Structure 1
Amino acid sequence: MISLGYRLAGLSLLAALSLSSLTAHAAEITLRIADQKGNMRAQLEAANKLQNLPYKIEWSEFPAAAPLAEALNAQAVDIGVIGDAPLLFAEAAGAQVKAIAVDKSDAYGTALIVRADSPIHSAADLKGKSIATNKGSIGHFVALKALASAGLTAKDVTFRFLQPSDAKLALVQGSVDVWATWEPYTAFAETQDSLKVAVNGRGLWSGNSFIAATDRALNDKQKRAAIADYVQRLAEAQVWAHQHLDTYSQTLSKIIGFPPEAARLSYGRSNARWQSLDDKTIAQQQQTADFYQQAGLLPVRVDVKGTFDRSFIIQ
């Protein structure tokens, strides 16, 4: 396995080869970046990796992957961070995007949340219950995988497809039994006395999220160089964030509006690392696609190989 330091060195080389072109056209290049709950931006700001950029950044904040995928599909942004399942739905819908890097994390935080007094303690207890989540999200995926692990299917529960804030409210008010969600929402829920994790994502989800870029941005030489530089900065910022967890958590807390303890819990246990794309990652994405197709959520089998661009890491 190639070490993290070597991968970062490779990214540095790729970015450095493009810096002269970027610098010459800095005033002309704007990289439109879609973030979810400020995670990428928080890392970059905390690690001071947004200083002296050879291009401009235009940030867009999204509460979940579905609207972010729509923005990618509409070419309203150039790149964004997105989970494996939402990326599949975006591509199945015709979005002209490629995954260019993978963030591998502990899958615990993609979980099924219940009220503290709930009788639901395992996947087997989900039968006959109602689950709120975003359709096609990693929360939806983990809910389906949890059902399958207990010999159940989507027909054994009632899904309500809601945005995270609405799903949380529905759970707290008792109009649904379960909220299938992801970090940092899971950590936020766990820091409240009224909610708890009933089923976590370990063994159910790969833990993979991606940076996806539009084909249009990748085909633009200057934007492609800016994307390479951005990925390098992000990978370095992530390492810094793990080394300075308290400082990073404060920055993340301010950006996403969550309590510092929730921000720290979310990131501290993730053990997330940006990595180059490899055969194992592509195989895991194919398994996710096949599961969704078998569950009837994808009409045909999707061959995921063509949805990856592995040229951003020099190995």
Structure 2
Amino acid sequence: MKRTALAASTALLLLPLTGCGGSAAAGDGKNVTITVGYQSKTINTVTAGTLLRSLGCFEKELNALHDGHTYKVDWQDYATGAPITAQMTAGKIDIGSMGDFPLLISAARGKQLGKPTRLVSVTGYNLRGGLNTIVTSPDSKLSSLADLKGKKVSTSVGSAADGTLVRALQRAGIDPDKGIEKLNQQPAVGASALSAGSADALSQFVAWPGLLAFQGKAKALYDGAELNLPTFHGVTAREDFAEQRPAVLEAFLKAQSEATDYLDAHPVAAAESVAEATGLPAEVVYLYNGAHGISTFDPALQPRLISALKQDVSILKTAKLTGDIDVDSFVDDRYVKKALGADYAQRLAATPPASASASASASASANEVWPKGSEKTVAFKSPAELLSYVARHKDGVRAAYVPDATTGTLWFADKAVWVADADRLLPFVAPATARAYVDGHGGARVITYAEALGRAS
């Protein structure tokens, strides 16, 4: 799924954006190439990958070092974290970004091979686990996790999405090893298997579930946020590289912070930029990376995320992918603390508690419409008000987003499961959460999207 266009020069990608300015460092002195491994289509890593590259922030920070070296950045794009880990332990990639489970595998393999890596920052996260989703084909009769028993489920073993699948099945009373037939596939292969009918369901990370739903090729079966366990992606660096070139690593982390600030300040422009660089629909990018998207971006190594990482170790050990992992020694916050200075403590303090994440995501402003031809979204106080607008502007809406009434996970309004409860219209990502709400609220019932639009208008 990698596009040849991603091999285009950084200079070309810099043209439409002004968030960081500058260009690759140039001057006299020893030439140094810094190799960065990233996943363009795993869009909650964009502040350490696609968007960072487009903005030119890293090149600008390297140019500002004035240390007698001429730096060149070699950006290498991968579909998953596994090849990045392999290249890092081989000494061929200096800095990489990947999900929480691949990060742990990186820690284990690095130690095993005597080429240790360190977790130095976070990119995108969701405190409830909403970055991962299990989907089925649009015409599937499967409506709950219990229906997966004996079915073929595609995932990428060792990924965060696999972790979500394992935990979700366990909670549903299904043995993740014997209760299903697990297909270990790359995301693009799994998506094709789902479309071809050779897989009954697909458990994957961003942006695959949203992309397939947007394209009409899948519907959500399980919202990862139901686990209420944090999931995130982060930046890892080779230990020897960090020790030999700490100023370069700090420059990268400063650049990541700049890209994060740009995304927060210009979410629509950032979504358009990432879409242009990756070929993903901008509407899908915004679902995850928008003002109230599923991903929250912050480079701070938050204690609750590190705690969640420790809980992930048992899943990998059971799958025999790793042994014990010393997470505390893997995490190294020295470089990001120095890079961000006083701002680092402020970022930690500003993070909402996990218990508030769902209600925060489900705030009134999270109901958003992206009108066609507009560079801004429009916020509404309730899902009903959003639906009323959509009903009146059916040909003028590029995308409409609503937060799940239970988990707060943002989803496309026309792909959500809708519930009518008296005069309230409530959206849900998956059928099971909608049914759970209906079962607990007398008189509430599931309705179609068309019925929801009719009621709102």
* Residues 132 and 167 in structure 1, CA contact (< 8 A), matched pair in contact too: yes
Q: Which of 195, 207, 211 is 1:188 aligned to? A: 211
Q: Post-superposition shift, 1:165?
A: 1.2
2:183 match: secondary structure: strand
* Residues 80 and 212 in structure 1, CA contact (< 8 A), matched pair in contact too: yes
What RMSD over aligned residues (CA atoms) do the two structures have, in Å?
Answer: 2.3
Q: Post-superposition shift, 1:25?
A: 8.0
Q: Which of 190, 198, 206 is 1:167 aligned to? A: 190
In the alignment, structure 1 residue 241 sits paired with structure 2 residue 263: yes
The 3 A distance-change label for structure 1 pair 104 and 35 is closer
* Residues 100 and 212 in structure 1, CA contact (< 8 A), matched pair in contact too: yes
Q: Which of 112, 136, 154 is 2:158 aligned to? A: 136
The range that moved more, 227-236 or 22-31, is: 22-31
Q: Which of 115, 118, 123 is 2:137 aligned to? A: 115
TM-superposition CA deviations, 1:19-74 (whole Å, max 9, x none): xxx99987533221011016233322554525534232110000111222212222
Letter aligned with residue 283 of structure 2: E
Give the structure with higher Rg (CA): 2
* TM-score, normalisation: structure 1: 0.84
TM-superposition CA deviations, 1:140-161 (whole Å, max 9, x none): 1111111112121221011111
The 3 A distance-change label for structure 1 pair 29 and 68 is same
Letter aligned with residue 80 of structure 2: A
Which residue number corresponds to residue 307 of structure 2? Answer: 283
Alignment map for 1:32-51 (pairs within 5 Å): 32-37=35-40, 39=46, 40-45=48-53, 47=55, 49-50=57-58
* Residues 122 and 301 in structure 2, CA contact (< 8 A), matched pair in contact too: yes
Letter aligned with residue 29 of structure 1: V
1:58 match: secondary structure: strand
Q: Structure 2: which 5+ runs fail to align?
A: 1-24, 64-70, 339-344, 346-457
The 3 A distance-change label for structure 1 pair 306 and 51 is closer
1:167 match: secondary structure: helix
The range that moved more, 265-274 or 179-188, is: 265-274
Q: What is the distance in 2 between the residues matched to 1:235 and 1:270?
A: 19
2:224 match: secondary structure: coil
In the alignment, structure 1 residue 99 sits paired with structure 2 residue 123: no
Q: What is the distance in 2 between the residues matched to 1:272 and 1:23?
A: 34
Which residue number corresponds to residue 92 of structure 2? Answer: 76
The 3 A distance-change label for structure 1 pair 250 and 148 is same
2:298 match: secondary structure: strand
Q: What is the distance in 2 between the residues matched to 1:103 and 1:31?
A: 19
The 3 A distance-change label for structure 1 pair 27 and 198 is farther
Q: What is the distance in 1 between the residues matched to 2:250 and 2:136?
A: 41
Which residue number corresponds to residue 199 of structure 1? Answer: 222
TM-superposition CA deviations, 1:258-285 (whole Å, max 9, x none): 1222222232213422233243332221
Letter aligned with residue 247 of structure 2: A
Q: What is the distance in 2 between the residues matched to 1:128 and 1:92?
A: 32
Count of aligned residue pairs for this structure pair: 291
Q: What is the distance in 2 between the residues matched to 1:260 and 1:273?
A: 18
The range that moved more, 22-31 or 142-151, is: 22-31
The 3 A distance-change label for structure 1 pair 219 and 48 is closer
Q: What is the distance in 1 between the residues matched to 2:263 and 2:303?
A: 27
- Report 1 or 2 for greater relative contact order, CA contacts < 8 Å, sequence distance ≥ 6: 1
Q: What is the distance in 2 between the residues matched to 1:65 and 1:120?
A: 30
Letter aligned with residue 52 of structure 2: L
TM-superposition CA deviations, 1:101-153 (whole Å, max 9, x none): 12342232311121111122222222111111212011111111111121212
Q: What is the distance in 2 between the residues matched to 1:178 and 1:148?
A: 17
Q: What is the distance in 1 between the residues matched to 2:138 and 2:300?
A: 40
Letter aligned with residue 99 of structure 1: L
Which residue number corresponds to residue 179 of structure 2? Answer: 156
1:226 match: secondary structure: helix
* Residues 125 and 131 in structure 2, CA contact (< 8 A), matched pair in contact too: no
Letter aligned with residue 63 of structure 1: A
Letter aligned with residue 182 of structure 2: F
Q: Post-superposition shift, 1:200?
A: 1.8
Q: What is the distance in 1 between the residues matched to 2:116 and 2:320?
A: 20
Q: What is the distance in 1 between the residues matched to 2:286 and 2:310?
A: 32
Q: What is the distance in 2 between the residues matched to 1:24 and 1:48?
A: 17
Q: What is the distance in 1 between the residues matched to 2:53 and 2:306?
A: 30
Which residue number corresponds to residue 145 of structure 1? Answer: 167
In the alignment, structure 1 residue 28 sits paired with structure 2 residue 31: yes
Ranges of 4+ aligned residues in structure 1 off by more than 4 Å: 22-27, 45-48
Q: Structure 1: which 5+ runs fail to align?
A: 1-21
The 3 A distance-change label for structure 1 pair 242 and 280 is same
The 3 A distance-change label for structure 1 pair 278 and 271 is closer
Which residue number corresponds to residue 88 of structure 1? Answer: 104
Which residue number corresponds to residue 15 of structure 1? Answer: none
